[in-house]
Amino acid sequence: MPSIVDATQWVGPLILFLLMVAVGLELSPADFRRIAKAPLAVIVGTLGQIVLLPLLTWGVVALLDVPPIFAAGAIIVAVSPGAGISNVLVATARANVALSVTLTAFASVLCVVTLPTIAALGMRHFLGESVDIEVPVVSLMIQLALTLLLPIGVGMWWHATRPEFIGRYRERLQRGALMAIVALMVLGGIFSDPGEFTFVDAGAGMLAALVWTVLAMAIGWGLAAAIGLPSPDRFTFLIEFSTRNIGVSAIVAMAGLGRLDLALFIGAYVAIAYPLAATVVLLRRRRPGALG
């Protein structure tokens, strides 16, 4: 156990650094300037994720009576930024890739502040004394700045200066970093102390992940429809709201908070949310009018 915990303290952030470099490879200054051209979609999409997803988590946790450690993991997933893979899913579905990239970029930058603060508030108010987790807000902000903002900047610089090299190796870097994050998360689940957990608890976690993902999709789609966005943008919101960055979630849980058991819900979320997102993407691709 100690060796796995110690490994997450330095290997995890290093892997996340590489993963966020891969996110930066997809960005350019033009992506950040798009907010001037479509401010409503970007502002509503960003604030909607920051405000509504934690509230959704509280509702799901309360409704399904999720075990506290799974609930804590769910809060971390909810306050993490959108995943870089969401851009690929949106492109595959022929939705609004520019909007997807912009929302992912803004969420990744803002989460340096929003993730530690909202996670701390969420665990204190939603879970109370049911789970003993202290969120070191300031130190977590510093860690996220080093493992998110810095590598995104490195990736953008690399993209601008070595476009041919990046075009050749981008996918390998993305796949390698993602596989490493999943491996760390699996190890965290294997070596964590399950305590009093039962198969019923695990089933509750899987059910919570399913309900959360479906409702997050509905909230994203509904919010985009409420502000009058066209079909491709509504589908983009659906994907962005429901597809969270498991790299950030896993490293915050295991390295930032030192709790391997938080990987239990993150693993359940990955098993449910990513296949579900891929399914709706394929559905829209085959039937362009679907889910729009």
CA 207, 235, 272 angle in degrees (round to 5)? Answer: 20
pLDDT at residue 263, as a whole number: 74
In which region does residue 89 sit, left (phi positive, over 0), alpha (psi from -120 to 50) or beta (all else)? alpha
Three-state secondary structure readout of 38-92: CHHHHHHHHHHHHHHHHHHHHHHHHHHCCCHHHHHHHHHHHHCCECCHHHHHHHH
Q: Which residues of the chain have pLDDT under 70?
A: 1-16, 19-20, 22-23, 26-27, 31-32, 34-36, 38, 126-137, 139-140, 143, 147-148, 165-202, 254-256, 258-260, 288-292
pLDDT at residue 291, as a whole number: 62
Helix, strand counts (H, E) of the chain: 13, 0
Residue 12 has which token pair? 């995890």
In whole angstroms, give the CA distance from residue 154 to residue 23.
10
Q: How buried is 230 (Cβ within 10 angstroms: 0-12 exposed, 13-18 middle, 19+ buried)?
A: middle
Rounded to an integer, what is the distance from CA 23 to the centroid of its chain? 13
DSSP string, 245-271: -HHHHHHIIIIIS--GGGHHHHHHHHH
Specify the pTM: 0.77
CA neighbours closer than 13 Å in the CB half-sphere of residue 159: 18
Q: What is the DSSP letter of 244?
A: B
pLDDT at residue 158, as a whole number: 79
Structural domains in the chain plus CATH codes: 2-286 (1.20.1530.20)
Type of residue found at 87: N
pLDDT at residue 195, as a whole number: 52
pLDDT at residue 186, as a whole number: 58
